[in-house]
Amino acid sequence: MVFHPPAWVPKLKDLPDSITIEEFVNNEAYGRRPFASSRNPYTCGLTGRTFSAADVARRTGYLARAIASHLGFNPSEGTPWDRVIAVYSLNTIDYIPLTHAVHRLSGIVTPASAAYSSEELEHQLRSSGASAIFTCVPLLDAARKAAQAVQIPDQRIFLLPLADHRQNGLPYKTVDNLVREGEGLPELQPLHWSEGQGSRQPAYLCYSSGTSGLPKAVMISHLNVIANVIQTYLYEAPSRQHLAFETQTNLGLLPLSHIYGLTVIAHNAQYRGDEVIILPRFELASFLAAIQKYRIEQLTVVPPILIQMMNNIATCRKHDLSSVRLVYSGAAPLGIEVVDDVLKEYPTWHISQGYGMTESSPLIISTCETDRLLGSSGSLIPGVKAKVIDHQGKEVAEYDTRGELLIQSPSVVLGYLNNEKANAETFVWHNDGRWLRTGDEVLVRKSSQGNEHFFIVDRIKELIKVKGHQVAPAELEAHLLAHPSVSDCAVIPVPDPNAGEVPKAFVVKAKTAAGKPEDEVRADIVRHVEGAKAKHKWLRGGIEFIDEVPKSASGKILRRLLRDREKEARRSAGAKL
């Protein structure tokens, strides 16, 4: 059974496959909102610094000229792999235009997480073949250390200005310096791409989150991003018409180095003529102040941000958040309990979810504001086909039946760089073409309007196998978060001589439980689980209290770190015995 988008979803037409992303977002010929009626694409949420849509396009062109001059880049010579630039920075208003400037030179951008250590950055620089780095003052030391390790000289390190950090006295060119230089340089020759080049040539080399191992380099083509922007635009257009608005102000807080921030927030907004209020990192005070000051209408977030809001509701109440219409959550599952808490405090807000992955650039499934089904991630967006494969390897032919999600979409990436094993495991061929194995267990259910909605149940590899039963960690985590003594949690499998595996919970205690004895809190949580869940879901692996659940920047639980912690604890216990 092949699943398709709902009948109301507009059809995906021919896509421009011979242009760069830069030309797509900065040229009205490809359907972007006219510059004259667009809002300023990127505004600094701390200082208010901003540029019009037309000025952003001009600055991008000037920046491209200066980069070509400094680095000796000639788009008509060599290959894109000769022009790989790393961006290792906190969010700034110049982040996305910088990537477009590199695309104007037929180059490749590899965005690196600002949370990376110098060693992790070194791995990305080395594997991507980057020959220059754009960074920011807070990350400069780590960037220099990694650059030296891969022999990138200091003159190939540049700075993206941040509102709260001065570059005075540092011997590095800034983006503003380069833009001014580019104004006095001759125009670049137009790119003359062959038919289909946009579908073959990488634009971004993004690294997977590495929740279960070393991050893999994902090759994302120009067409992949262009397709996903158009898919999202078509999917959301009916809602915009129904809700009677054309442009809006969005929150740009999530890391632009992550595919969620890169495409779902930045590229979508720029194409639609929206404004993005850029914040360098999450701090509750600046987050709330920006919503109030700029009258932000859409909060595109990850679940930990909503959890922090609910844990600090007295602070939130001191700010005017009445401008918010939509909260859009992604990158990790959003618990129903969190949704309930948010809606109790802010009943006029709409809460939607989306689902995707780096390997699909990223969006696959999204909630329509006018057809929401609690707990679902929404329906397929235009141009996406899906299959669900059960545990016996057969296609699911009925609703409410679990299995692994496989998808086809023009946004599915080229593959992993220099990793044929991962390519063979992730991108599989059936008699009806190439399919992306998501590794996520889903089930499909119809809404009251008759549309197919997808529920993300769990990661296939993370399911806990208890005496023939399969336990989804996310299900237990959602239940634990409903307990008043639990602020955050994660569940992993631990070995058991009788059951094979059993669930163990790592729990961060809520403030209300801070003074209670741990044994008392533990016993109360055990009763909470055993009173509502089947025996194979009981926490027979125990409950361990920790200060913080390790997570990626997007909010995904890094279970491998907890598994490593558990293995080390068991080794130590064995050694003591």
369-413 tens-digit pLDDT: 877 787 889 999 999 999 999 988 899 999 999 999 999 999 999
Which tokens sit at 89? 């920075």
Q: Exposure string (b/e) for 110-146, b if CB count within 10 Å is 16 or more?
A: bbbbbebebebbbbbbebbbbbbbbbbbbbbebbbeb
Residue 209's pLDDT band, with cuts at 50, 70 and 90, is low
Closest CA to 225 of 40, 52, 15: 15
Query: What per-residue confidence (pLDDT) applies to 470?
Result: 73
Region 241-255 average pLDDT: 92
Q: Which residues contact 7 (CB under 8 A, 6 or more apart)?
A: none
Query: What per-residue confidence (pLDDT) applies to 168?
Result: 66
Residue 208's pLDDT band, with cuts at 50, 70 and 90, is confident
Region 354-359 average pLDDT: 93
Q: Is the pLDDT of residue 503 over 60?
A: yes
Query: What per-residue confidence (pLDDT) applies to 165?
Result: 67
Region 189-209 average pLDDT: 94
Cβ 506 vs Cβ 492: under 8 Å: yes
Mean residue pLDDT of the chain comes to: 92
Region 14-32 average pLDDT: 96
Residue 220's pLDDT band, with cuts at 50, 70 and 90, is very high
Instruction: Give dist(CA 495, CA 327) in Å, integer.
Output: 39
Neighbours of 545 (CB within 10 A): 14
Residue 575's pLDDT band, with cuts at 50, 70 and 90, is low
Residue 462's pLDDT band, with cuts at 50, 70 and 90, is confident
Residue 576's pLDDT band, with cuts at 50, 70 and 90, is low
Query: What per-residue confidence (pLDDT) applies to 72?
Result: 96
Residue 213's pLDDT band, with cuts at 50, 70 and 90, is low
**Over the stretch 486-501, which tens digit does the pLDDT of each residue have?**
999 999 999 988 888 9
Neighbours of 227 (CB within 10 A): 25
What letter represents residue 251's amino acid? L
* Beta strands at 275-278 and 42-44: parallel, antiparallel or unpaired: parallel
What letter represents residue 54's amino acid? A
Percent of the chain with pLDDT over 70: 97
Instruction: Give dist(CA 383, CA 365) in Å, integer.
Output: 11
Q: Which residues contact 319 (CB under 8 A, 6 or more apart)?
A: 288, 289, 291, 292
Q: Is the pLDDT of residue 54 over 60?
A: yes
Q: Is the pLDDT of residue 212 over 50?
A: no
* Backbone φ and ψ of 370, nearest 5°: -105, 5
**Model confidence, pTM:** 0.84
Closest CA to 19 of 103, 110, 78: 103
Of 14-28, 158-172, 384-398, give the lowest mean pLDDT range.
158-172
Q: What angle do CA 504, 470, 5 make, to 5 degrees?
A: 115
> Does residue 191 or residue 333 have the better pLDDT?
191
What letter represents residue 205's amino acid? L
Region 459-486 average pLDDT: 83
Closest CA to 64 of 109, 23, 101, 106: 101
For residue 337, the number of C-alpha atoms closer than 13 Å in the C-beta half-sphere is 18
Q: Is the pLDDT of residue 333 over 80?
A: no
Of 25-29, 215-219, 466-470, give the lowest mean pLDDT range.
466-470
> Does residue 164 or residue 326 have the better pLDDT?
326
List helix spans (H) across 190-251.
Answer: 197-200, 222-243
Of 66-75, 189-198, 340-349, 547-556, give the lowest mean pLDDT range.
547-556
Which tokens sit at 155? 């003159």
Region 512-539 average pLDDT: 92
Query: What per-residue confidence (pLDDT) applies to 211?
Result: 46
Which tokens sit at 90? 């906190």
- DSSP string for 297-346: -EEEE-HHHHHHHHHTHHHHTTS--TT--EEEE-SS---HHHHHHHHHH-
**Over the stretch 252-275, which tens digit does the pLDDT of each residue have?**
999 999 999 999 999 999 999 999
Query: What per-residue confidence (pLDDT) applies to 577?
Result: 45
Which tokens sit at 238? 């009916």
How many residues are given for the chain?
Answer: 577
**Over the stretch 110-154, which tens digit does the pLDDT of each residue have?**
999 998 889 999 999 999 999 999 999 999 999 999 999 999 999
Q: Is the pLDDT of residue 59 over 60?
A: yes
**Over the stretch 283-299, which tens digit does the pLDDT of each residue have?**
999 999 999 999 999 99
Helix (H/G/I), strand (E/B), else coil: 62: helix
